[in-house]
Amino acid sequence: MIIQRFSVNNYPVQTILSWVQSNEVAIPEIQRPFVWSSTQVRDLVDSLYNGFPVGYLITWKNPNVRLKDGSTSNGKRILIDGQQRVTALMTAILGKEVFDSNYRRRRITIAFNPTLRKFEVLNSIIKKDSQWISDISEIFSPGFKILDKIRDYCALNPEVSQEDILHAIDALKSILNITIGLIELNPDLDIDEVTEIFIRINSSGLTLSQADFAMSKIAVDEIYGGNLLRKAIDYFSHLAVKPEFIDIIRENDAAFMETEYFPKLQWLKDDRENLYDPDYKDIIRVAFTYKFRRGPLQELVALLSGRNFETREYQENIAEESFAILKEGVFDFMNETHFKRFIMIIRSAGFIDPFMIRSKNALNFSYVLYLTLKENGVHPSLIETYVRRWFVMSVLKSRYSSSPESQFSFDIKRLTETNPIQYMEDVLKSELSDAYWEYSLPLEMDTSVTSHPLYHAFLAAQVKLNDKGFLSKDILVSDLIKLKGDLHHIYPREFLKNQGFDKGLINQIANFAVAQSEINIAIGKKDPGQYFTELVNQCNGGSIKYGGITSFRQLEENLAEHCIPLDFIKTGPLPYHEFLLKRRQLMASKIRRYFGLL
């Protein structure tokens, strides 16, 4: 027999809004930016007025929690789908302010023309037009007198029929009686099941992550300060990208500035670092894994709800303790010293630009590792070494690209249940064996994706080893990365194209080298045999055509730095396929040498 674990009911708009106002239904994103445009708000009101469907709302009931005195507290319903629609109705119908994308409070005012039965976003022209009621929220206010409004309106517009205006305004007021479908999910559903239901029902194809559910749970909590914690997480992620956002906080949220959270994040106002700009999902994932020694965020939702995993009951003391532990983790994440030292470690591994870090989760777990080792009292020099090596290993092996939560859980448990140094050494030796460096890595570099993590690792190696740009005498690869220098085709694109090679082979990462724009332009589409012959002549006292290298020693050093076989200046360029094979091997050897220096 199939057990239905949800219910579907229809409720009037007025009932749903009253639930939200009384906090019976919690909107977790109510304090976050409202992303709908003003015209979307207008269209929603227009759809309700014309009796068009506006989609289902979905709520998920929190479980009932056993309190310390033995009594039971009924769980609150969280609105997990329909937040934008409900917020739109609250600003249009109830006249509530919303936060825009800059976290500024503002009203979205919808005007109504009862003659045309048309809605528009209020503007200066409509405001002066007597045929428009400037703000429909006045019609829904408790003290609204419909007959007085009709009299005043008809006095300004004598040509209209009072009866028509009465019908139009009465129809508008009846929006409150329009029913909206509400799917109520049972509290015993886990996050994966709720996510699946959401995806199947939501016609827009949006998805919810476990982090979304976790953050929703945090946001609606007022007993243990979850609402403030959520705001702090939001503000930190916003400030990390836009330090000037501090002025918005000062202007609009004086109350938050008086909390213990503000001093923890105000240092970001002077921070211009962009290597690691965490969003709220990154913050909650790192804080949870680090403090709770777990990976799946659905377990965080259960703990914040007070779940006792042994008895399967929900207890208040577990919820209280879980919020306190999570808060500690978030504070440690936001700590200026921790954050800056962690980024310094990543930069010291040669990863100096955000484009070089494709996997945010590799960065996230490396921060978990940093915080965990620091909490365990590991010597700072060892922390630096192992965080560097673990991060680079994670990039090379794409360790957190597939099923990251499972891998997070696996690694954090072994790091905390065994000797962490020994565990890391065992993993590094296993993942980066001699066979990997000599055979697997060169084979894996057979790709034309320049955003591939292996190519980024090669660039990081060049940065770490202070290599100069291709054919550059003084300009470093690190300088070119910062200045967005060119990716030069060692065997030029047009040359290979004329030889009949396809795009996939032309753009192999083994055919790229970071170069100054002027060098790249000077080479153009020349045959490698031609421009390398000219380079040899340049070193023999001939005219300088490419960069400033004028000696064979400098040229040999530069080619070695870029893993280009010296055959090019001794016997001439290799056949293209042979060149790719040989250069991949040289690039792999360079990355191995680089890793040994970490």
The pLDDT tens digits for 202-238 are: 545 455 677 777 887 888 788 899 889 999 999 999 9
pLDDT for 399 beyond 60: yes
Higher per-residue confidence, 284 vs 74 = 284
Angle at which helix 380-397 crosses helix 360-375, to 10 degrees, equals 160
- On whether the CB atoms of residues 286 and 333 are closer than 8 A, the answer is yes
Please give the pLDDT value at position 205: 46
Mean pLDDT calculated for residue range 523-552: 89
Mean pLDDT calculated for residue range 532-537: 89
Q: In angstroms, rounded to a whole number, what is the distance separating the alpha carbons of residues 85 and 83?
A: 6
User: Among 98-112, 271-285, 483-497, where is mean pLDDT lowest?
Assistant: 98-112
Q: What is the mean pLDDT of the chain?
A: 89
- On whether the CB atoms of residues 7 and 184 are closer than 8 A, the answer is yes
Q: Which string of b and e fits 112-149 if b means at least 16 CB within 10 Å?
A: bebbeeebbbbeeebeeeebbbbbbbebbeeeeeeeeb
Give the containing element (helix H, strand E) for 513.
Answer: strand 512-515
Token pair, residue 14, equals 């007025």
Q: pLDDT grade, residue 199 (50/70/90)?
A: low
Higher per-residue confidence, 101 vs 99 = 99
Mean pLDDT calculated for residue range 358-378: 95
pLDDT for 584 beyond 80: yes
Count of CA atoms in the C-beta half-sphere (13 A) of 238: 18
Q: pLDDT grade, residue 73 (50/70/90)?
A: low
pLDDT for 81 beyond 90: no
User: Among 95-99, 523-527, 528-532, where is mean pLDDT lowest?
Assistant: 95-99
Please give the pLDDT value at position 316: 86
pLDDT for 321 beyond 90: yes
Q: pLDDT grade, residue 251 (50/70/90)?
A: confident
pLDDT for 336 beyond 80: yes
Strand order in the sheet with 179-185: 6-12, 179-185, 57-61, 77-81, 25-26
User: Among 185-189, 492-496, 583-587, where is mean pLDDT lowest?
Assistant: 185-189
